[in-house]
Structure 1
Amino acid sequence: MDSTEVEIPSYFSCPISMQLMTDPVTLCTGATYDRQSVEKWMFTLGNNTCPLTKQPLHNIELTPNHTLRRLIQHWCVLNSSSGVQRISTPRPPLDADRLNKLLLDMASFQVKALKKLRSLAGESESNRRLIASSAAPAALISVIESHSTENDEVGCCYDAAVACEEALGILYSLPLLDETLDSIATGKCLASLASVLKRGTSNARFHAAMLLQTLTRKGLERLVMNANGELIEGLLELLTEEVCHQATVAALEMLTAITSNSQHSRINAIEAGAVSVLIESLPDQTPEKKCNCERMLCLLNVLCGCAEGRAAVADHAMGIPAVSKKIMRVSDLATEKAFRILWLLCKLSLSKRVVDEMLQTGVVTKLCLLLHSECTVKTKRKVNEMFKLHRTYWKSASCFPSLNFQE
C-alpha cells in the first residue's frame, strides 16, 4: 500500500505545507510548524507574523517540539506496513558555543573545520543566520584573502585552494550582513576573488561570481573604487569560458556596474579586450538568450561612451555587423542599445571607413526599417539625424530615396 493512501492526522501536518512534519518547532505564539516551512516563511519571505494566528512575532526563537516529533515517529512505525517511512531524529540546531569551538578548530584543522561549517550551514536557515551574525564571515574572508596559487608548495597550494573553495561556498549560502559585504568589497578581498576567477576551480569561480553579483546589486561604492584590472580580466575570462549561465550573468552585471561609474575601469576593461569578447559572443546570443544579449549590448554601449571603446568596435572586423544584426531581432531593449552603439560611432567617431562599412553590411537598410517600426520618437529623430549627416555617402543605397525625413 502506498504511503499517500494513509490519512495523516491533522495535528501531524504542518499548517503551511500541509505535509507531515519532520522537524516540528513551536513559535512564541504557541503554534507549531515544520522547521523548514516556517523558516522560509520568516527568513526567506520576510514575514513577521504567525501564519496560523496572524499574531506579531515578538521573537523568532524556534523551540523544538520533541514530544510531537516522537508521536509522529511512533505513528510512522505503526503505519510502516502501509509504506510510511519513519522520520529521522533531526540534528540539534547550531548554537553559539559549538560555532565558536568550530571557528577555533579552523586554526589547526582548517579544511576539516570549513567542511563541517559548510555542512552545518546547509542544514537550516537558523544555522545560516547564526553563522552570518557571528565572527565566522570575517574568518571566512580571511581564508579567501590568504588564498594564493603562486609561490607555494604543491600540497600547501592544494589545501589553500580547497579551503578557499569551502569558504566561498559558505559565504555564498549565508544571508550576509552589510558590514560583511563591505569587507568583501575591500581591495585585498577583491584581489583574491580576481585570483579565484582566473585560476580557481569551477565551483570556486561560480561562488566568487555570485558574491560579486550580490555586491553589485547592493550598489556598494567601494566595489567600484576598488575594482582593478585583475578583477576585470577575471570577469572577462568568465564570459569567454562560460562557466555557467549564472556566472555569465554575474560577470556582465559586475562589469556594467564598475564601468558605468568609473572612467578608469572603463579604460581597463577596453584594454583587457572587453570589446572583442562581447562582439565575438554576440552572434551566439539567440532570441532564446535575449537577456544575456541585452546585457552584452548594454555593456558595449557603456564602453562606447569613450573614444577608445568606439575605436575598438570600429576596428573589429565583426564589430558593426555583429551589433547591427541584433536590431529588431531580439527585443526592444536590444534594438535600442544596438542602435545607440551605431549612433555613437556615426556621431562621435566619424570616418569614411565606418560610414562605408555601415552601407556595405546592411546597417542603412536596418535604419530604414527602424523608421517604419514602432520605435520611440527619439530613436526615429536620431535615425533622421544619421541619414542627414551621411546622405552624401548613403544616397546610393536602394532604400535611401524612398525615405521621408526632414531636411
Structure 2
Amino acid sequence: MEEGKGALAQSMIDAVHEMASISGYRGTTKRQCGNLARRLRLLTPLFEEIKDSKESMPEGTIGALASLVEALSSANELLGFGTVGSKIYHLVSEREQIMNKYHEVTSQLEQALNGISYKNLQIPDGVKGQVELVLGQLRGAKGGVDSPDVDLNEELLALYNQSSDTAPDRTVLRRLAEELKLMKIKQESLAEKLEIFVLCASGGDPGESIERISMLLKKIKDFVKTENLDMGPPPGKENVLPSSSGSSVDGNKETPVIPDHFRCPISLKLMKDPVVVSTGQTYERSCIEKWLEAGHRTCPRTQQTLSSTTLAPNGVLRILIAQWHEANGIQPPRPPSSSRPTKTISAAFPAKCAKIEQLLRKLGSGNPEEQRSAAGEIRLLAKRNADNRIAIAEAGAIPFLVRLLSTRDSRIQEHAVTALLNLSICYQNKGNIVSSGAVPGIVHVLRNGSMEARENAAATLFSLSAVDEYKVTIGASCAIPPLVLLLDEGTQRGKKDAAAALFNLCIYRGNKGKAVRAGIVPTLMQLLTEPGVGMADEALAVLAILASHTKGRAAIGAAKAVPVLVEIIRVGFPWNKENAAAVLVHLCAGEQHHLSEAKELEIMEPLVDLAQNGTDRGKRKAAQLLERLSRFVEQQQEGSGTGRSRGRGSGTGRNRG
C-alpha cells in the first residue's frame, strides 16, 4: 500500500514537472493552457507531502489518487497539443475540440481532487490552502476563448467556408494578414511562411481541412502580394500605441519566468505591493483591498475567517521581488498611484475634508493633548484607504506632521511618523513628504523614538526609498547607522523593517560603503547563524547586494562567511541558495583562498545540484562558481606537478654533487 502511494505521488510530481517544461501555447486556448499549467504546479507540495507521509491511506483515497494521475496525464496531453500547429489551424479547425477537451480535463481534475480524504493525510494547513485555491480556480474556469481572437476566428471561418470562386472582402483579408503577422514578411519568404502554416496544421494527417486551409491561405497570400508590404497599420488602428506593462523586452531576449510565489493568488500577476492578512497569506494590496471592500471577511486562499482586516506589508517578499527585477535587468514598476485625475477628493467628499481640516487645526494648536489625539486620528484615517491618503495630503497635513517629528512627546512623535508611513503608501505623496523636509525628522525618530516609533520610521524610509532619487537623499541624511542599530537590537518586526530599508538604500552604490562602515556585515552574519531568528532571507538578500562592493566583499570575507554560505547552498531554500551562491561568486572573484576554503568544504556536489535544479539565477551563479573552481583545481594540479618535477631534478643534482 505504501509503495503504491509513493509511486502514485511520484507519478504526479513527474507529470507536473513535465507540464512545467511545456511552453509556447497557441491559438484561442493559449490563456486557458497557461492558467491550467500554473494551477497544477501549485499542487506539487501536496504530492510531495503524500510521498513523504508515513500514515496509512484509505482505499478510496488511493483510488482518487489513481484518478488524479489519469487526469494529469490527460492535462499533459492537452497542454502538449496546445503547442502544436499554427494559430490559424487552432482557430479554424480545432477550437471546439480543444475547448471540449479543456472542460473535460478540468472536470476530471476537480473530481479527483475532491475525492481525496485530506483528514487522513496530515497535510499542513498551507498546503491544504493551496489545494482549495486550485479547486476554486478549476470550478471558476469558464474556458472561454481569448476575446481578441473571437472576431478573428469568425472571419477565418467565413473565409474557410467560402467557395473558391467567391471574391473575399479585402478589408477582412487585410485584418487577417495583419493578425497572422504576414504583412511584414519579405516577398521571397512569404510562400515559405504560409507553407509552414499548412505543414504544422496537417500534423501528419492531411485531409479535406488541410486542403481548405491551403485555399484560405492562398487568398491571404494573393492579397499580401498585391499590397505594399511597408504600409501602415490597418484602418482604425493609426493612433493605437504599443501596450506597455512598465518594462520592455527585446524581441530577441526571453522574458524571464515569474516565480509562482511572486504572483498574487487572486490576480496571478507579479505583486508590486505584497501584504499579509491575518491568516498569514500574502496578496497584492489592491486585490485584497477590493476583496475586503466587497464585504468578504475570509481569506481567499484558505477560506478561513479573518480575525482582523489589517494588512501588513510583506517586506521579505518585496525584497525578493526587487532582487528578482535587478537580477533580470528589469526596471521595477512604480507602485500604483492612488490619484484621481478627473476630480479632487475635496470635491467628492466635502464632509471628510471638513473633518480633516478640523484635525489640522488641532495639530497646529500647540496643545499637546489636542495634537496627540489629532495625530492619532490622522494616523488611523491614512491607514484605512487610498482616498483618505489623498484627502489628508491635499488638505496640507504633511508639513504639520513633519514638525511634530521633533516633539519630545513620544506618543505624538509615534503617531506623526506612523501617519507619514501610511500616507507614503500613495506614490504621489512620497514626493510631498520628502520635499517637506521629513527625512531628517524621520531619522531623528529612528535614533531617539520609542521602539514602535523607530520601527515605523524604518518602514517609512523603506517606503520612500522605493524612489531612486530618495535613496541618495536618505543615505545622505545619516539614516544608515540607526537602521543598522535597529537591525541589531529591534524586535522581529523592527529587524525586518530595517533590513527592507537597508536593502533598498544599498541598491544605490554610494550607500553600500556607508552600510559597511556602520557595521552591517557582522550584524547580518549574526542574523544568518542564530537559530530561530527567522531573518535568513533578508540577511542573505542584503549580503548579496553588498558583495558587489569592494569594502562589502572584504567585510564579508573577514566575517568568515564561506562555511555559512556553503551550508546554505547545501540545505537552504532555493531563493537563499541563489543569494548564497551570488555572494560566493563575488568573494571568489579575486581571492583564491576563498575558493580553496569552499573546495575543502566539499561544495562541488551541492553546486552541481544547484546548477541543475536551482532557480534561473541560482543556476547561473552555480555555473560561474563551478567554472572558477575547475580552473582553480587545474592550476593547483599544474603547480603540484611542476613542484614534483623540480624536486626530482634538484635531488638528482645533489646526488651528483
Compute the TM-score of the two structures, normalised by the length of structure 1: 0.62
Q: Which runs of 5+ in 2 are unaligned?
A: 1-292, 298-308, 310-335, 638-657
| Cα distance between partner residues in 2 of 1:371 and 1:273 | 33
- Structure 1 gaps of 5+ residues are 1-14, 20-36, 38-43, 49-55, 64-92, 148-156, 396-407
Give the distance between the partners of 2:635 and 2:436, measured in 1 at CA. Answer: 50
Residue in structure 2 matched with residue 197 of structure 1 by the alignment:
446
2:471/2:504 contact within 8 Å kept = no
Residue type at the aligned position of 1:357: E
Matched with 2:479 is 231
Which whole-Å deviations, capped at 9, do the CAs of 1:92-113 have from their partners, x for residues lacking one? Answer: x544377257426624214522
CA distance in 2: counterparts of 1:120 and 1:107, whole angstroms: 15
Contact 1:187/1:226, CA 8 A, preserved across alignment: no
| Structure 1 residue 140 displacement after superposition | 0.5
Give the distance between the partners of 2:559 and 2:359, measured in 1 at CA: 57
CA deviation vs aligned residue, 1:188-230 (integer Å, no higher than 9, x gap) = 532332232232112211221221222133x241332441373
Q: Distance in 2 between matches of 1:253 and 1:177?
A: 18
Q: Aligned to 2:569, what secondary structure does the other structure show?
A: coil
Offset of 1:47 from its aligned partner? 12
**1: CA distance, partners of 2:349 / 2:486:** 41
Aligned match of 1:83: none
Per the alignment, do residues 130 and 386 of structure 1 end up closer, same or farther by CA in structure 2, a change over 3 Å counting? same
SS in 1 for 2:542: helix
Which residue number corresponds to residue 382 of structure 1?
624
**Which residue of 491, 500, 505 maps to 1:243?**
491
Q: Which amino acid aligns with 2:451?
A: S
Counterpart position of 2:568: 326
Partner residue, 2:162: none
User: In the alignment, what sits opposite 1:211?
Assistant: 460
SS at match of 2:588: helix
Measured after TM superposition, the shift of residue 315 of structure 1 is: 1.1
For the Cα contact (< 8 Å) 1:186–1:222, is it kept in 2? Answer: no
Could you tell me which amino acid in structure 2 is paired with residue 235 of structure 1?
A: L
Question: Which of 370, 377, 380 is matched with 1:119 structurally?
Answer: 377
Matched with 1:258 is 505
Distance in 1, Cα, partners of 2:489 & 2:477:
18
**For 2:611 and 2:380, how far apart are their aligned partners in 1?**
55
Decide whether the 8 Å contact of 1:185 with 1:226 is kept in 2: no
C-alpha distance in structure 2 between counterparts of 1:300 and 1:329, whole Å:
18
Please say which of residues 268-277 and 123-132 is displaced more in the overlay. Answer: 123-132
User: How far apart are 1:142 and its partner, in Å?
Assistant: 2.1
Amino acid in structure 1 at the alignment position of 2:536: C
* Larger gyration radius, structure 1 or structure 2: 2
- 1:367 pairs with 2:616: no
| CA distance in structure 2 between the aligned counterparts of 1:374 and 1:102, rounded to whole angstroms | 54
1:6-405 to 2 correspondence within 5 Å? 16-17=294-295, 61=348, 94-96=352-354, 99-100=357-358, 102-103=360-361, 106-119=364-377, 122=380, 125=385, 129-144=390-405, 146-147=406-407, 157=408, 159=409, 161-174=410-423, 178=427, 180-185=429-434, 189-217=438-466, 219-228=467-476, 230-245=478-493, 247-262=494-509, 264-284=510-530, 289=534, 292-317=535-560, 319-348=561-590, 350-352=591-593, 354-371=594-611, 373-374=613-614, 376=616, 378-391=620-633
Q: Distance in 1 between matches of 2:568 and 2:606?
A: 10
Q: What RMSD over aligned residues (CA atoms) do the two structures have, in Å?
A: 3.9
From the superposition, tell whether residues 167 and 342 of structure 1 become closer, same or farther in structure 2 (CA, over 3 Å).
Answer: same
Larger RCO (alpha carbons 8 Å, 6+ apart): 1
Secondary structure at 1:253 match in 2: helix
d(CA) in 2 for partners of 1:306 and 1:105? 45
Residue 127 of structure 1, CA deviation? 5.4
Contact 1:253 1:295 (8 Å CA) reproduced:
yes
TM-superposition CA deviations, 1:146-170 (whole Å, max 9, x none) = 35xxxxxxxxx4x3x3332121132
2:543 alignment partner AA: L
Distance 2:296 2:584 in 1: 56
* Percent identity for Structure 1 against Structure 2: 19
SS of residue matched to 1:17: coil
After TM superposition, the runs of 4+ consecutive aligned structure 1 residues lying more than 6 A away are 44-48, 56-60
Q: CA contact under 8 A between 1:121 and 1:131: conserved in structure 2?
A: no
Q: How far 1:270 moved relative to its partner?
A: 0.7
Q: CA 1:96 to 1:332, structure 2 compared with 1: closer, same or farther past 3 Å?
A: same
Aligned to 1:79: none
CA distance in 1, matches of 2:603, 2:597: 8
Change (3 A) 1:343 1:167: same
How many residue pairs get matched?
A: 301
Contact 1:133 1:177 (C-alpha < 8 Å) held by counterparts: no
For 1:18 and 1:340, how far apart are their aligned partners in 2?
43
Q: Is the 8 A contact 1:229 1:265 kept in 2?
A: no
- Asked if the contact 2:516–2:551 (Cα under 8 Å) also holds between the matched residues in 1, the reply is yes
